[in-house]
Chains A and B, each alone.
Chain A
Amino acid sequence: MSLHWLKVAAVGSVAAIALASAAYAQTVRVTVAEYSSKTGPYFEKAATAFEAANPGTDIQIEVVPWDVLQQKLTTDISGGANADLAIIGTRWLIDYVSQGVAAPLDGYITDEFKGRFIDTFLSPSVMDGKTYGLPIAASARAMYYNKSLFEQAGVAEPPATWEDLKGAAAKIKAIGGDVYAYGMQGKEIETDVYFYYAFWSYGGNLIDADGTSGLDTDAAYQAAELYKSLIDEGLTEPGVTSLNREDVQNLFKQGRVGMMITAPFLSSQIKDEAPDLQYGVTAIPAGPDGARGTYGVTDSIIMFENSQNKDTAWKFLDYIFTTPLRAEFTGGEGFLPVNKEVAASPAFADNADLKAFAALLPDARFAPVIPGWEEIAAVTSNALQKIYLGEGEIKATLDAAAAEIDGIIAANK
């Protein structure tokens, strides 16, 4: 009895909320990820400008910290309380598409609009020939190296191959003191990616042609052996599994790490926090056969299928993807330009750091578009942590992880 009464009350209040929002026609709610302290103000400013140009519209920006974004979106969607537009990690998109949560945008996209984008970054958001998201943020990874430490160690050139890197690392280690040659990430998000840089150089593929995990291949064993030998020979910082990406970046900013691989945003952080640091950006080292790979990441902004104001939502998307707004966002956050005109503008084209990243784009690989990827990444990270800690033999640990990943892939088919 009481449960029924509660349900009636709940339905009634939901209906009341729906009626109330209908009264404010043309309201568009946008969930945005907080990349930095500049993200919120940027979108608020864009919303205000858009509302002024389009009377009768109301753009509501909800800023969510990146760490809890997926959790918040999941909760909102399951409660039917999601926004009209949201930023998501493009690697999550497949779930949104397969469950019919994301709306295809092809009906709105004109050739002119499509032409604004660099193809490499638009393609991850295309599934089954339909475009479901627009790349709002793009990033790749390259190697940062500390020029002063290189000079002290007598290393003239940044290493071109992993073998060179090991040689350079030994010389940097010889300087002594609180200095570490190769900054290695061993904790939290992207621990697996830090391994893929070496894995790809040895010719590995995350998912092999037969649709199974590539972790049980020679490329993976060799890459793991390389990383393990760097750890064992003291060429990395101690306690690798207690440092996440930010921890290693902080060591680099303090001038205590010779080399590390990370995203473009480190150079904007260095500009603010350690302007005197002498550093360079170069390609990720190549493997014995010259293969190399960098990790490409895009975040997409998607429109929800259940949005009541799709036309207005699209107009807002169209507005924020114009060149001046893109230039402001990309520059402010330290991302790579996704927009051709922005990429060609002097602020970006003449930036040496960004040039190094852009040069790597042909080698960029994105997270595979398969359901369950987050779980696969976690399995991989766990296996790597065991290897780094010396708790598991390399081949056996990677084979077990590959078998577990194959199970996840099969379960999601």
Chain B
Amino acid sequence: MNRSILTNPHVLIAPAFLLAAFIILWPLFQIGEISLNSVNRFGQLKGFSGLENFAAVLSDPQFLNASWRTVVWTVGIVLGTILVSIPVAMILNEDFHGRGLARIVIMLPWAVSLTMTAIVWRWALSGESGMLNSALRGLGLIDENIQWLAQAGTAFPVQIAIGILVSIPFTTTIFLGGLSSIPDDLYEAARLEGASDWQIFVSITLPLLRPFINIAVVMNTINVFNSFPIIWATTQGGPANSTDILVTYLYKLGFSFGKLGEASALSLMMFALLLVFTILYVRLAMRGER
């Protein structure tokens, strides 16, 4: 069979591939080049240095601390977001008076830029004039102001909570879509058989929602792993690097200390880590679905 070259699949995807290559692969190639060279703070290459930059990053104790914290940060936010978003989505899926308004209220934080949200929280968490402290005092829960951002013990959990809060709108949207795809007759049949609400949730809602939960996990992980504004605007990774995650550490390496070689090496490692995680997760989670 003779097909025109214009219908060859490779030709057809070529424009899209070239565009993607221009946006993704080219910078990746350049970062790879920088990471293998010794480089000055202005990004000018000063000769091939092998894996020296990678070794320098790996031997920095800050790197290990930040990696561990990134795991806590990512798992905490992704898990927390999903645990909160499922009930929120189920409530918003019910038919009640004012549902439209409730949906808008839940979605609103999405409309505000992440940096803005983070800065507002920085003010709200201030130990002197913060809203959170005045609210807690007003409720009689505390007598003394808490200095939320002064030490990692309080700062990091609060940052994770902010992360959860800003991830809820997107995740809820995914779950709302998922819930509306579950046919109502399944619920009717289950009720006729006398299933309890919990049984319905465990045997119908949760299994049918699973593909959507998988999507939410992958998308949120990619988002949260590289999320910079919340931590930077509230503590800049401090005090004493105790709230640094890999992205904030990367920013300091690259732009505060001018170590562009090490920063490139680190960002390549982060890219690889995220890629491997995503592929693994997608394989594991979606295995049973074919």
Residues of A within 8 A of B (CB): 2-3, 6, 70-71, 74-75, 77-79, 95, 99, 101, 186-188, 237-243, 247, 251, 372, 374-375, 378, 381-383, 385-386, 388-389, 391
Contact = CB atoms under 8 A, between A and B. Distances in A.
Nearest to B144: A238
Nearest to A237: B128
Given A95-B41, A389-B240, 13 more contacts: A3-B29, A74-B41, A77-B42, A95-B40, A99-B44, A101-B42, A187-B238, A188-B238, A242-B126, A242-B235, A372-B257, A382-B240, A391-B240
B227 to A, nearest CB: 19
A239 B255 contact: no
10 contacts: A2-B18, A2-B21, A3-B26, A95-B41, A99-B40, A186-B239, A239-B150, A243-B127, A251-B128, A389-B150
A374 B258 contact: yes
Nearest to B130: A242
Contact of B147 (A71, A242, A383): A242
Nearest to B236: A188
A70 B41 CA distance: 10
Interface string B256-274: 1110100000000000000
Interface of B: 18, 21-22, 26, 29, 40-44, 126-128, 145, 147-151, 155, 235-236, 238-241, 252, 255-258, 260
A78 B42 contact: yes
Given A3-B26, A6-B26, A74 B238 contact: no
Contacts of B150: 186, 238-242, 389
A75 B260 CA distance: 11
Given A386-B240, A389-B240, A99 B42 contact: yes
A382 B257 CA distance: 14
Q: Is the interface of B mostly helix, strand, loop or mixed?
A: loop
B127 A238 contact: yes
Contacts of A239: 127, 147, 149-150
A228 B156 CA distance: 24
Contact of A374 (B126, B128, B151, B256): B256
A383 B240 contact: yes
Contacts of A383: 240
A383 B238 CA distance: 11
B258 A78 contact: no
Contacts of B155: 242
Contacts of B240: 381-383, 385-386, 389, 391
A243 B241 CA distance: 15
A375 B257 contact: yes
Contact of A389 (B29, B127, B239, B258): B239
Interface centre among A95, A242, A243, A378 (most CB of B within 10 A): A242
Contact of A378 (B26, B145, B149, B256): B256
Nearest to B56: A411
A247 B252 contact: no
A74 B239 CA distance: 26
Contacts of A186: 150, 239
A372 B257 CA distance: 7
B257 A247 contact: no
Contacts of B127: 238-239, 242-243
A77 B22 contact: no
B149 A242 contact: yes
Contacts of A386: 239-240
Contacts of B43: 74-75, 77-79
A383 B18 CA distance: 49
Sorted nearest first, the 4 A-B pairs with minimum C-beta distance are A239-B147, A78-B43, A239-B150, A385-B239
B145 A238 contact: yes
Contact of B241 (A78, A187, A382): A382
Given A6-B26, A99-B41, A70 B252 contact: no
Contacts of A78: 42-44, 260
B21 to A, nearest CB: 6
Contact of B258 (A2, A74, A241, A381): A74
A238 B241 contact: no
A78 B126 CA distance: 38
A95 B150 CA distance: 33
A353 B235 CA distance: 33
A253 to B, nearest CB: 12
Contacts of A374: 256-258
A382 B240 CA distance: 4
A381 B258 CA distance: 18
Nearest to B46: A99
Contacts of B236: 187-188
Contacts of B258: 74, 95, 374
Given A378-B252, A378-B256, A389-B150, A241 B42 contact: no
A75 B42 CA distance: 7
A376 B151 CA distance: 22
A386 to B, nearest CB: 5
B184 to A, nearest CB: 51
B120 to A, nearest CB: 16
A223 to B, nearest CB: 18
B42 A378 contact: no
B64 to A, nearest CB: 16
B255 A70 contact: yes
Contacts of A188: 236, 238
